[in-house]
Amino acid sequence: MPRYFEDLEVGDGFESPGRTLTEADLVSYAAISGDQDALDFTAGEAGLPPVVPDLLIMVLSSGLGFRAPAETPQVLAFMVFDLHMRLPVRVGDTIRCRIRVAGKRPMKEGGVIVERREMVNQRANERMRGVLDDLVASGLELGLQLAAYKDGELVVDTWSGVADRATKRPVDGGTLFTVFSTSKGIAATSLRAIAAEAAVTPALLHYYFGDKAQLQQAVVEERLVPAFAELREPLLRAGDDIAALVAAFVRGIGALVARHPWLPSLWVREVLCEGGALRELMLTRIGPQLPAMLAARFTQAQRSGQLNPALDPRLLVVSLVGLTLFPAAGAPIWRQFFDASDLDAMALRDHTIALLDRGIGAG
């Protein structure tokens, strides 16, 4: 049954069967294209099979695309090809084509489909992809990328998982991870600087995110909000035990910082500092989720006699943040000041819980 624009969804995809490249493929390519350089089997690196021309790989990606398990969509015209060869393909390689619908734009009749095609071989990329898949399946990672170079040549370039827990947007070679907190603040960081850090072109950033504001929104939705949402579950499990609730918050922040070490400095720079780009996010998205919930629980505990009546439940939340996120943000300074490289995140967590539970007395 034919498929049309309406039948395709972003994220749809498949992987083609494999095809092993031979010297006969190079002979056929040279005969059709007139590219006689493809027949110079002595060119290239000594001891390695000949490199297959990039244009032949592009043609093969088109042909393998027709070996889809479902009916090929009805195509009126091919508009643009954007080819990036990350690794050489050599005679003897068995290649497969991974095809995914990366975007779609409706028009008056039908629409435009953006396909992302990856040609992969049987070597290190596949083995490392299996490692990344295992990390994602174990729950240790949500989504990640891996690139490795040997003697200046990119030999592994792979990824796995999703970039966004809510929308399940898959990670690929163009997925961006925040670099705001590792250099300048958000307001002072240009799209060009972000593209350079991510080793992509500014045009690719515009393609996926549109502009800087949309990129910032993606960082918020895919990194910050899910990060703080991880705290909710342990806090809810604490029940009515106020000591368990405080300990769960301290442990939760410690685990959060361990998973996202960029978070404390980003918090100070972009939420607390005047003009911070994420202060509004704190007031409208994260504030109602966590601080307000904690303050309400502390108020209830105070009314039932579990909490010191001299304390203000709202300021208690502020104090907990001050005892967790601030020391993590200032760790590079106080570790150097006190020569305290032996104090890790676990020691900081245990110290904070002891301080809150027993105070500074000797008893």
- Do the domains 5-120 and 230-358 sit in the same CATH topology, yes or no? no
SS3 of residue 335 by DSSP: helix
| Domains in the chain: boundaries | 5-120, 125-200, 230-358
pTM above 0.85, yes or no: no
Q: Dig out the tokens for 36 from the structure.
A: 């006689």
Q: What are the residues facing 120 on neighbouring strands?
A: 96
**pLDDT tens, residue by residue, 171-206:** 877 665 655 444 456 766 777 777 777 777 777 777
pLDDT in tens, 31-69: 888 888 777 766 656 677 888 888 888 888 888 877 767
Domain 230-358 bears CATH identifier 1.10.357.10? yes
CA distance to 15, 32, 70, 71, per residue, from 1 (Å)? 20, 34, 9, 6
Distance separating alpha carbons of residues 31 and 37, to the nearest angstrom: 11
Q: Is the pLDDT of residue 215 over 50?
A: yes
User: What's the pLDDT tens digit per position in 131-147?
Assistant: 788 888 887 788 888 87
Could you tell me the CATH superfamily of domain 5-120?
Hotdog Thioesterase (3.10.129.10)
Sign of CA dihedral 298, 300, 306, 310: positive
| Exposure of 286 in the CB half-sphere (CA atoms within 13 A) | 18
